[in-house]
A and B are shown apart, each in its own frame.
Chain A
Amino acid sequence: MAVSTAQTTPPRQTSDRAAQLRRRRYAADRRLKFFGLAAIVTAIALLGILLGSLILTGYQAFVQTHVTIEVAIDPELVDRDNPASGNYRAVVADAVQRLFPEADDPAVLQEGSRIVTNGAQVILRNMVVGNPGLVGTTFSLQVPVSDPYDQLTKGVIQRDSPENRRRLNDAQISLYETLEERGLIETRANWALLFNADSRFPELAGLSGAIVGSFYALLVCFLISFPMGIAAAIYLEEFAPKNRWTDIVEVNINNLAAVPSIVFGLLGLAVFIQLFGLPRSAPLVGGMVLSLMTLPTIIIVTRAALKAVPPSIREAALGVGASKHEVILHHVLPLAIPGILTGTIIGLAQALGETAPLLLIGMNAFLTSPPGGIMEPATALPTQIFIWADSPERGFVARTSAAILVLLGFLITMNAIAIYLRARLERRW
């Protein structure tokens, strides 16, 4: 009875019909491959367009036009013993005067002072406070030019367009051109973009406050959601009885992961700020709200990672008499760690890009210095992008794109770390 194959007619692999069928099957193979390829090409093209347009608008923000001024810190204006309260406005006015030595028309000088950034006084003040020895000396210094002139240098404001259509009139431009001719204008890397905090003046605005704020918020988010997520996943996966209640918990965790983030923002506002009285705009609250979103992600990836550990390893450990916690902590968890870490980093990367909940808890304040701790008001990268995108100054257009590129840079780095960790750690077993 086991040899029934002998009775069936032998397959005619060589017949025309079979050959035709084979051709059709190969054609189907090729079609499937083509559709897959087409999908990937489309996805990559879209990504390319996104990045391309961001780089096109944003690249100019990575450089900034500077003007070299000669500064004399007059001891009359700045007291060596109390440099913080000096009259830096007068120091800057003096520097502008030196910039246009032959000009005696106050109107020209006033136009000239508009070329130098409005924040020059603050820059000088910080310099002298940091080094009081500068009082009484004269030195030359590169300071950013104000935004319209920066745009002019970068070609955003075009010199040959009609005068009434541009923000700088012919007189202003020709004044600026005298500086260009004297070689005082230089365009160089805009480190302020990374190391300055926010400012009302685009030429001075930077992301350091947002980067620090995002870092604190993610730190809080990680410290809350990583241990809690792993503990919850271990309980659900290894200890919880399989019954209706655990099913309900499971469904709700999956639901939680799908809740729109703005809802978590409202929750954070109502509970953390209004009920618990935690400070508005603080990275602590931001991190707590973000952890509500990251937590379900971490629970889900951890459970998947725990489930993926081969049952034979559990049996082996149980077989030599390991108790439950030993099986989990000595054998299962170490094997699940690469998956957990990868999932966690991807969860944190999502949290890093999350905007809506942070807007709701006020992490879009205008702040000119980075937060000193998790309780102090702060912004985050995505909310900073939001603020800049909303700003009218021309310079913020490029800076918004540049900030998005910086954010994407962080995200790509985090994902690369996740991929690297997975490859690295998984090789070990």
Chain B
Amino acid sequence: MDQMTNTRFDAVTAAPHNHSTHAKVVGQDVNVFYGDKQALFDINLSIGERQVTALIGPSGCGKSTFLRCLNRMNDTIDICRVTGKIELDGGDIYDPSLDVVELRARVGMVFQKPNPFPKSIFENVAYGPRIHGLASGKAELEEIVERSLRKASLWEEVKDRLAESGTGLSGGQQQRLCIARAIAVSPEVILMDEPCSALDPIATAKIEELINELRENYTIIIVTHSMQQAARVSQRTAFFHLGVLVEEGPTDEIFTTPKDQRTMDYVTGRFG
């Protein structure tokens, strides 16, 4: 318990060489249960605005579970129960009066396996803005689609084939399409669950480059199994182990001078 409090203290205060302004997402004493089985234990983590936070840890430690709490994707799992408090800009996202649909527009998500809709490329990106009523006409919708595809560095590759199916793109292009789809509804936070695990190194490099650009405007939380990737794209890193948040801090510190032995073991490849 003492250690937990410590960790929490570290997490909230330690951000010395970061220009981050304020905590965008704050989790307090988050516990998650799948039926009787507890997957996360008293997670206290605050995530700074407009920076990339990497969640790392061995398989099954609860990274995805935590990520999916942040846009309440866990609501769709019947047996999943979340306690504690998660705030987005100071507002509790588990408040019963909160509108989940709006939350998911503010907190976008990119999944492990690229999952474009089996519809046209245009429709993939236009779908979100359309259901949320973000565009007041066809021209505006087209503008949003183009802007989003440009931000996802996909525009040049697909501008001549917007009517073709999104599933006909290459894996890397599909993943960028999914990022464009998430961007199109103007989210504040983008959650990425191992976005490159199904991609080859070149496509991965493209996505990482893209993440670096997106950091200017979005708060990004990325789950990754690759230490190199975490080191390349993130400013801060949180290490999870067996459902516990072991340590959180600036990425270079986590990788060079971790405070916890378990983190040390993990980042040096001794387990996981």
Residues of A within 8 A of B (CB): 241-242, 310, 312-323, 326, 330-331, 335, 428-429
Contact = CB atoms under 8 A, between A and B. Distances in A.
Nearest to B125: A320
A397 B104 CA distance: 69
Considering the complex of A and B, which 9 residue pairs feature the smallest CB-CB distances, nearest first? A429-B118, A320-B128, A312-B115, A321-B104, A319-B109, A321-B105, A316-B115, A321-B101, A323-B101
Given A321-B102, A321-B104, A321-B132, A313 B117 contact: yes
B76 A242 contact: no
Contacts of B111: 312, 315-316, 319
Nearest to B128: A320
B185 interface: yes
Secondary structure at the A interface, as helix, strand, loop or mixed, is helix
**Central interface residue in A242, A321, A331, by most chain B CB within 10 Å:** A321
A90 to B, nearest CB: 73
B71 interface: yes
A313 B182 CA distance: 14
B167 A318 contact: no
Nearest to B191: A319
B27 interface: no
Nearest to B115: A312
Interface in B113-158: 113, 115-118, 127-128, 131-132
Contacts of B50: none
A319 B190 CA distance: 10
Contact of A331 (B71, B108, B117, B167): B117
A318 B107 CA distance: 11
B181 interface: yes
B105 A320 contact: yes
Contact of B78 (A242, A314, A321): A242
Contacts of A331: 117
Contacts of A321: 101-105, 128, 131-132, 185
Nearest to B118: A429
A313 B118 contact: yes
B131 A319 contact: no
B35 to A, nearest CB: 12
A241 B78 contact: yes
Nearest to B178: A316
26 contacts: A241-B78, A312-B115, A313-B117, A315-B73, A315-B115, A316-B115, A316-B117, A317-B117, A318-B76, A319-B73, A319-B108, A319-B111, A320-B128, A320-B182, A320-B185, A321-B101, A321-B102, A321-B103, A321-B128, A321-B131, A321-B132, A321-B185, A330-B127, A335-B118, A429-B165, A429-B167
A310 B167 CA distance: 13
A428 B166 CA distance: 12
Which of A241, A315, A320, A429 lies at the interface centre, i.e. has the most chain B CB atoms within 10 A of its CB?
A320
A326 B185 CA distance: 16
A242 B76 CA distance: 12
Interface string B224-253: 000000000000000000000000000000
Interface residues of B, number: 29
Interface in B185-232: 185
A335 B131 CA distance: 19
A319 B113 contact: no
Contact of B127 (A242, A318, A320, A323): A320
Interface in B147-185: 165, 167, 178, 181-182, 184-185
A245 to B, nearest CB: 14
B71 A319 contact: yes
Contacts of B118: 313, 335, 428-429
A326 B105 CA distance: 14
Contacts of A319: 71, 73, 104, 108-111, 182
Contacts of B108: 319-320
A428 B120 CA distance: 11
A326 B128 CA distance: 11
Interface in B53-78: 71, 73, 76, 78
Contacts of A241: 78
A335 B184 CA distance: 24
A322 B109 CA distance: 13
A313 B114 CA distance: 10
B195 to A, nearest CB: 12
Contacts of A312: 111, 113, 115
Contacts of B105: 320-321
A415 B87 CA distance: 56
B6 to A, nearest CB: 33
Nearest to A309: B118
Contacts of A310: 115
A325 B109 CA distance: 20
A1 B118 CA distance: 45
A225 B158 CA distance: 43
A318 B109 CA distance: 9
B50 to A, nearest CB: 21
B115 A313 contact: yes
Contacts of B182: 319-320
B110 to A, nearest CB: 8
A46 to B, nearest CB: 41
A321 B100 CA distance: 8
Nearest to A322: B131
Given A313-B118, A315-B115, A320 B181 contact: yes
A323 to B, nearest CB: 5
Nearest to B123: A330
